[in-house]
Structure 1
């Protein structure tokens, strides 16, 4: 009887534990546009753009380009040198770190020059894939990531399910239906994946174990922590049982940005859309102490995806759309952001106040009063300037704003210079 009661107790306890695991559903970013034809067109446009960029490097301004040349470079993101890249060459959440190791419980054998290794699931490239290597659908197989303690915190997990390089490859191979997520060996959540060629964005409570009182460099020496994704169920492929995942990557609390189309004031007082900026462009910056404007050269840019932006409307009828933690300069010389706690925690700004309706912002040549602040949850690409060769300010839609340097990254760079 005692043994029976013990058995019943253990089974009940396991069921209760299972019930405690949260179930997450994604926001969907459609990837149905990806194709071999699209890759060929991208490469053709990129080749044309390279000759236009060369002209601009030799002194031709964007405003002096022909309409056809402007259209060509406007249709190509110069931070994207590969059609299949997820992240551009600029800085993003990964500026602050990311997983250091990727391992898999099994891997399908290579076929000629094509491999299916664990590293493919986090190479930030849609074309390369991880495929489990056991008989059947691979239920129980897993991918595990090792994160340094110094890695930035995670608030979003993005899963690109199946072989998304083409509709045919996606349908022929099996896809994941449910992933079980473990944090440091403990069950954390079940990720319910839809059967779509898409990037599936899962919002999570902040994940990360960096004690912000520990020096950034010292934290890098601490033991890694692990995040594991186990296959629970699959959508069967039409031709192969092998289950495929193109990518599992992350976003978090370490980048603030602007929407596409935001106009940046250049050093010569002309304006360019933020998405066409390139390394080496000179923008107009501002020194708070001298209250003088000056030219500053772009050293780093970024192009991450966000789905939690705000639009700030101004009394002159203009507006600006950015992430909630982006700092903007008030006429009194103080930094403001919609989420000042987040801004101060993650970036180089030590004093940030709450951005509110009625606040007056510092413009290029005038003061601008905020009349409304609205939120926008649509998933979209965003852009920002991470670092300049001097100063940390630039003008976006005529408003003075701050650059993107990470607090931890700056501490690490300082250590590297002085050691």
Structure 2
């Protein structure tokens, strides 16, 4: 009888929605999380902390032993915990994220473990939301509420099942079909694979697209994304349906800090926050190896959390998001988050920034000697379209124009 009821609920939930688009993952990543993996991560991190202390005391990267350099390469310094999904560096979340995550139900706590809806967006693989009704949770949902000024979303990433261990993932049930609503209006059905890992679904930008006036944008009403369980993969032991995480990537968060000096066409400079559409800025023409001028056609502004400051051998510094592209000698374009930078025109083959890289400047090169992560939030700005050229000059460095790939 229970099985018949479940099938009936699935059919009822799908009646009238045959026109809703169904989406398959555009990317997947398997996870192999374990207690042994956590120990190895912590051992590597402790080794790196000792090396970072040496560098803080004045030891240069070039003076480190090869063993020490190899140790540094094993650790992403933005990842403070083995279970972190994103880490402490800048990401789409620098510019925002949901204000609140609620659910239609959740399983009551068992010992030290809780299964509240907030776990589905704590950016941690170890915790999870578990629906709290009898049976397989058909019709239960998570609701994400965003502020009107939140950066737009162009990817929904689902970590399906209880991924903290292989046994927990197999024993508990997982979602097979997840229905997405925008402001309670049906948008799409996500067809999830039965894998212990993350699954990304590329979407057309979701959120407020008119972002020219920040003061107006801040007055926009909240909007929501709802994720409803339509069908499941049954667990070996439990009918509890588990989602470890639903998180996002997107647009509108790739900028420089207020006060960054932009070189204009007449060789003077202007603070980036004072730039206007129509201003003429300098850019490097790499074919002729000369500085030319271009007119600004579009700028962006957003509030960011957790920016990064690059410091160079000459004493020059610049504060930016981790995925902003810089021109690097022997690497072409590079950023700290190349996977995110690839969504912009001309940066499909972008590489990763590393300590010791030679950044190209308007007058030569400058060596990167340190990367510092900045706490708190700041207003940030960038140029997203020029009349010609793919770069501009910020604090003397050649930086990329981030125009979205169509």
TM range (shorter): 0.5 to 0.7
Match of 1:381? Answer: none
Residue 73 of structure 1 corresponds to 72
- Equivalent residues of 1:146, 1:225 under 8 A apart: yes
CA contact (8 A) 1:117 1:131 kept: yes
**8 A Cα contact 1:309 1:321, kept in partner:** no
Q: Which residue of 1 aligns with 2:221?
A: 223
**2:242 match:** 244
Kindly tell me the number of residue pairs found equivalent between the two proteins.
302
Name the residue aligned to 2:11.
Answer: none
Paired residue for 1:270? none
Identify the residue that residue 187 of structure 1 maps to in structure 2.
Answer: 186
Question: What stretches of structure 1 of length at least 5 have no aligned partner?
Answer: 1-13, 258-277, 285-292, 314-318, 323-327, 333-345, 364-390, 395-399, 405-419
Alignment equivalent of 1:283, drawn from 312, 315, 323: 312
Question: Structure 1 residues 307 and 238, CA, compared in 2 at 3 Å: closer, same or farther?
Answer: farther
Shift of 1:219: 3.4
Contact 1:23 1:192 in 2 (8 A): yes
In the TM superposition, residue 221 of structure 1 has moved relative to its aligned partner by: 4.2
1:236-287 per-position Cα deviation (integer Å, ceiling 9, x unaligned): 0011110000110111123559xxxxxxxxxxxxxxxxxxxx9665136xxx
| 2:382 aligned residue | 348
What does 1:122-201 correspond to in 2, within 5 Å? 122-201=121-200
Aligned match of 2:316: 295
CA distance in 1, matches of 2:309, 2:204: 38
Deviation for aligned residue 1:295:
1.3
Residues 381-414 of structure 1: CA distance to partner in whole angstroms, max 9, x if unpaired? xxxxxxxxxx5564xxxxx22599xxxxxxxxxx
1:99–1:145 Cα contact (<8 Å) kept? yes
Kept after mapping to 1: 8 A contact 2:318/2:395 = no
1:231 partner SS: strand
- Output the TM-score relative to the length of structure 2: 0.66
Give the alignment of 1:322-341 within 5 angstroms.
none
The secondary structure found in structure 1 opposite 2:382 is coil
Q: Deviations for 1:96-134, whole angstroms, at most 9, x for unmatched residues?
A: 111101000001011111111111101111111000011
In 2, are the aligned partners of 1:331 and 1:362 still within 8 Å (CA)? no
> Does structure 2 retain, via aligned residues, the 8 Å contact 1:393–1:402?
no
Shift of 1:190: 0.3
How far 1:43 moved relative to its partner? 0.7
- More deviation, 50-59/30-39: 30-39
* Structure-2 separation of matches of 1:54 and 1:280: 18
In 2, the alpha carbon distance for the partners of 1:38 and 1:147 equals: 34
Whole-angstrom CA distance in 1 between matches of 2:321 and 2:154: 24
Deviation at 1:167, TM superposition (A): 1.3
Confirm or deny: 8 A CA contact 1:138 1:242 kept in the other structure: yes
Please tell me whether the aligned partners of residues 161 and 199 of structure 1 are also in contact (alpha carbons under 8 angstroms): yes
Q: Check the 8 A contact 1:151/1:210 in 2, yes or no.
A: no
Taking only aligned residues, the RMSD between alpha carbons, in angstroms, comes to: 3.3
For residue 17 of structure 2, give the secondary structure of its aligned residue in structure 1: helix
2:7 equivalent in structure 1: none
Tell me, yes or no, if structure 1 residue 401 matches structure 2 residue 399: yes
Higher mean Cα deviation, 180-189 or 220-229?
220-229
* Distance (Å, rounded) in 2 between the aligned partners of 1:130 and 1:392: 45
Aligned-residue offset at 1:90 = 1.5
TM-score (norm 1): 0.65
Contact 1:30 1:198 in 2 (8 A): yes
